[in-house]
Amino acid sequence: MMDFLDGMSTLQQSFWWVAMIASLIFIVQLIFTIIGTDLSDGLGADFHGDLDAVHGPFQLFSFRNLINFLMGFGWTGVAFYPSISNQMLLIGLAAAVGILFVVIFFVVIRQILKLTEDNTFNIDKLIGKSAEVYLRIPAARSGKGKVQVSLNGTSHELQAITETEEISSGTMVRIVRVDEKILIVEKI
């Protein structure tokens, strides 16, 4: 490996080393991400602070972004070294592409996060839905029964009351409102 780098200038060798090391770390990160584990940024501490809390999933100064920047920087320097003789211009271009890599990573992660779905159960979303009485519901709010209702493909068994006559098991009802986490239902 050293023979490969021997005939190169210090700048060109630097670009190669940065590109190879950053690419190796990137591949390790990618493998860990694919198999379901992940590398942390080493933000653990011996005190109770909020060191790793941010207001979003993207941290500008993270180990992953450093690797993305260095990979873009290194490979751009390697690729354009033969064609750009001005070293400052080459370093500036490599830095710009490194920043572009970080921005591209940000955009990709943001699009992936848009695909997430919130499956948190919210009882208020049941209003207007139909349900099946599971346990008899006594008349005129005199007691509670149970209904089975499906929301987002998940079946829920919840307490219910009615303001009208008794509703027997197996009857289909409509949920008209929610009162302190108890469904108010009426026959369909």
Least confident of 31-35, 79-83, 114-118: 114-118
**What mean pLDDT comes out for the span 68-89?**
97
The pLDDT value given to residue 71: 98
Every domain of the chain and the residues it spans: 8-42+56-114, 123-187
> Using CA atoms, how far apart are residues 36 and 45, in angstroms rounded to an integer?
24
**What mean pLDDT comes out for the span 67-96?**
97
Q: Are strands 154-162 and 182-187 parallel, antiparallel or unpaired?
A: parallel
In terms of CATH architecture, what is 123-187? Beta Barrel (2.40)
Residue 76: which of 148, 15, 160, 164 has the closest Cα?
15
The pLDDT value given to residue 114: 80
Q: Alpha helix (H) ranges present in 37-156?
A: 63-80, 87-114
Return the higher-pLDDT residue of 165 and 6: 165
- For the segment 42-69, what is each residue's pLDDT rounded down to a tens digit? 444 444 444 444 445 557 788 999 999 9
Neighbours of 29 (CB within 10 A): 16
Q: What percent of the chain has pLDDT over 90?
A: 68
Polymer length of the chain = 188
- For the segment 30-41, what is each residue's pLDDT rounded down to a tens digit? 999 888 776 555
Q: Supply the pTM of this predicted model.
A: 0.55
Structure tokens at 159: 């307490």
Residue 16: which of 29, 3, 27, 30 has the closest Cα?
3
Q: What percent of the chain has pLDDT over 70?
A: 88
Structure tokens at 58: 């993207």
Q: Is 119 helix (H, G, I), strand (E, B) or coil?
A: coil
The pLDDT value given to residue 1: 61
Return the higher-pLDDT residue of 151 and 16: 16
> Using CA atoms, how far apart are residues 76 and 8, in angstroms rounded to an integer?
16
Q: Is 45 exposed, middle or buried (0-12, 13-18, 19+ CB in 10 A)?
A: exposed
The pLDDT value given to residue 34: 86
Name the average pLDDT for the chain. Answer: 88
